[in-house]
A and B are shown apart, each in its own frame.
Chain A
Amino acid sequence: MSHHHNRPAIVVDNGTGYTKLGFASNTAPSFVVPTCVSVSGGGVSSSSSSVLTTQSKKEEKDESNFPGNGNSKKKKKKKAYEYYSHHNHASKSLQDLNYSIGEDALAQINSKTIKWPISNGIVNDWTSMEKFWQKTLLNVLRVEPEEHFFLLTEPPLNPAENRERIGEIMFETFNVPGVHIGVQAVLALNASVALNASAAAASSKKNRNGDEENSGNDTSKRDRNDGLTGTVIDIGDGVTHVIPVCDGYVVSSAIKSVPLAGRDLTRFVQTLMRERGENVPAEEFSRVAQKVKEKYCYVSKDIAKEFELHERNPKEYVIRMEGVRAKTNLPWQADVGYERFLAPEVFFRPDMIAEKENGFGQFSLPELVDNAIQECPIDSRRKLYGNIVLSGGSTMFKGFGKRVKRDVKRVVDKRISESEVKSGNRLKAKSVDVEVFTHDMQRYAVWFGGSVVASMPDFYKSCHTREEYFEYGSQVMRSNVLEKEEVFF
């Protein structure tokens, strides 16, 4: 087994929108692939597909007899669920091998069915997920899975059954030597700790020329052990999480999770541009909107002032986009205006998106952060406020960290002053430091954290191994190795 240790572990972070994969101890993932699979048979008529689905259902029942299955009742439920996910494609046959993933799959959007195996951060279509992994490991990353340890990520509150499924696929299909499943939020914290350590080293050399950022000086002072207490704001494509972590453990009762994230922002940009009558070809609209979101959006301090700036100085703020229609080769032009600052504003004022009014609740992101921290043990709250870490592509907007810091501070100060008044001004509270930690690795923070963890010498001890799996069955995956023994951090 020791020879596996010479090869770097493979870090795979499966997100709703994109999967990030690469080798441990690299600073950035080698590949970022849209998490989707295209399957043929989108055009199968309904009568024949119903026959196929009953067939595949039968096969599933046979399949479910393989060793190491947990609770049979749960199994049945899951199978019934998969029955739907199977609905559109043929049973195991040669046709099954004919599929593509990622960008290739998206290119076939007109001729094939596109499946997104992950929704809101949680895998719900394991057949597609397995196919996706197959292609990403063998054709994209081009590795022999049986020769590398793996670090996979899971969202907070991931059902233990899902962890078993990961074990089944990884050990039985890919025959990997070992798997570690890390919680995304904890990995994001690890990333910030690692970056802090290197930043602290760099800043001590630099001898602090000026205060570059508000957070810069404070965060570099924190020592390594403090690092694994913090609040992670993880905004991906499909879901927003606010996750308090104390000493490396997720406070799962205090997690806030909201189905409003990057994808909704793209849709909002699109709505705003369409309402204004921007002349973007319909088939390219969502791609254009995504580009606008990723390239041009920023967080403003005050949207009324920002509107005025845009109106007074359109040359500086309005961006002209150009392109060519795919079908007719005619050029098109569109202006990008106030959506640049309105889209990220959705996190701070969710009632701007009408249909999400009930989904998001009446809470803005800063309020969610405050609520989450208030539900944590009282002796950890100051640390949690003082170490808010951003993770995920949708936290990359310029000014996002500062705005979160300001708004969380406002919420906290308001509550403190209210309770001071209630006490008849006899009690004075020490003011709470709110710090938001931003860094360059934010977009792939989880992956980067995984890369850091998987490059530690102790990493191999923290893995579920193949031997263990075949000895005890898939339930070994249920437990977190961290609970079993003290490993790293």
Chain B
Amino acid sequence: MVYHSAFTELPDSIHASCGVPLLPLRTQTRGPAPKTTDFDIVDEAIQYFRPNVLFRKYAIQSDADKLLIYLTLYISQCLKRLHQNQNQASSSSSSQQGTNNNSKKNLMTEGAKLLFALAHDHFDITTGLGGIIDGPKTFQEGETLKSYLAQCREEIGLRLVDHLYVDEGTKMNKFWMAFARKKFMNKELPEY
């Protein structure tokens, strides 16, 4: 079984842009998302990321699933970015062994910075998704979705780092990083 979003029955107060519902988020970040204090779609995306990313087939059952797919693909992108960064770091730090006690501590904060930057990097809402998200009918609609997704992306970065580092942020969690090269539904978000 693949895991589908549980946010299938939505109250009327929730708007949708380009077929994607703007679900409430448990967040302090700024953006158009309604606020909540409960389990939200970002939790769901992180929880279901590892089981879902293994499978190539995923039948969309609700509009919330579209958001779940986008967030899953974004988590993949995060892992990939951190993986690249880790490789660069290890190749440069191997030359200066022994002095990296301090830099080791910074791994988690460094990762958090990287993911924040990635969240607010330029991105497009439709390319690379194979038509899962409808094209915007008006400029305004596209902009709303974009700022909502940016908010999700930032929130994912904030919560993901708790999972990605072990030993008080000095080491990457290999049980997560191994998923960096998996391609959910054989798709990838484009890099800019």
Contact = CB atoms under 8 A, between A and B. Distances in A.
A310 B173 CA distance: 12
Contact of A357 (B48, B54, B56): B56
A342 B48 contact: no
B50 A338 contact: yes
Interface stretch (A168-176, A207-215, A251-259, A270-278): A270-278
Interface in A296-322: 303-304, 307-308, 310-311, 314, 318
- Which of A272, A276, A314, A342 has the largest count of B CB atoms less than 10 A from its CB? A276
Interface stretch (A42-50, A129-137, A346-354): A346-354
Determine chain B's interface SS by DSSP, over half rule: helix
B35 interface: no
Contact of A304 (B3, B163, B181): B3
B178 A304 contact: no
Q: How large is the interface on B (under 10, 10 to 19, 20 to 34, 35 or more residues)?
A: 10 to 19
Contact of B178 (A272, A308, A318, A351): A272
Given A303-B51, A304-B3, A308-B47, A276 B178 contact: yes
A314 B176 CA distance: 13
A167 interface: no
Contacts of A303: 51
Contacts of A335: 174
A311 B55 CA distance: 20
A337 interface: yes
A310 B51 CA distance: 13
Interface string B1-20: 10100000000000000000
Given A275-B178, A277-B174, A338-B175, A349 B48 contact: no
A338 B177 CA distance: 13
Given A304-B47, A304-B48, A342 B178 contact: no
Given A304-B3, A304-B47, A308-B47, A277 B178 contact: yes
Nearest to B55: A351
Interface in A315-345: 318, 335, 337-338, 342
B57 interface: yes
Interface in A19-74: none
Contacts of B57: 351
A357 B178 CA distance: 22
Given A277-B174, A304-B47, A338-B175, A351 B3 contact: no
- Which of B56, B57, B175, B181 has the largest count of A CB atoms less than 10 A from its CB? B175
A352 B179 CA distance: 13
Nearest to A307: B50
Contacts of A311: 163, 173, 175
A267 to B, nearest CB: 15
Contacts of B50: 304, 307, 338
B183 to A, nearest CB: 10
Nearest to B173: A311
A277 B172 CA distance: 12
A229 B96 CA distance: 70
A275 B181 contact: yes
Given A304-B50, A357-B56, 20 more contacts: A275-B181, A276-B174, A276-B177, A277-B174, A277-B178, A304-B3, A304-B51, A310-B175, A311-B173, A311-B175, A314-B175, A318-B175, A335-B174, A338-B50, A338-B175, A342-B54, A349-B54, A349-B55, A351-B55, A354-B56
Interface of A: 272, 275-277, 303-304, 307-308, 310-311, 314, 318, 335, 337-338, 342, 349, 351-352, 354, 357
26 contacts: A272-B178, A275-B178, A276-B175, A276-B177, A277-B174, A277-B178, A303-B51, A304-B48, A304-B51, A307-B50, A307-B51, A308-B47, A310-B175, A311-B163, A335-B174, A337-B175, A338-B50, A338-B175, A349-B1, A349-B54, A349-B55, A351-B55, A351-B56, A351-B57, A352-B54, A357-B56
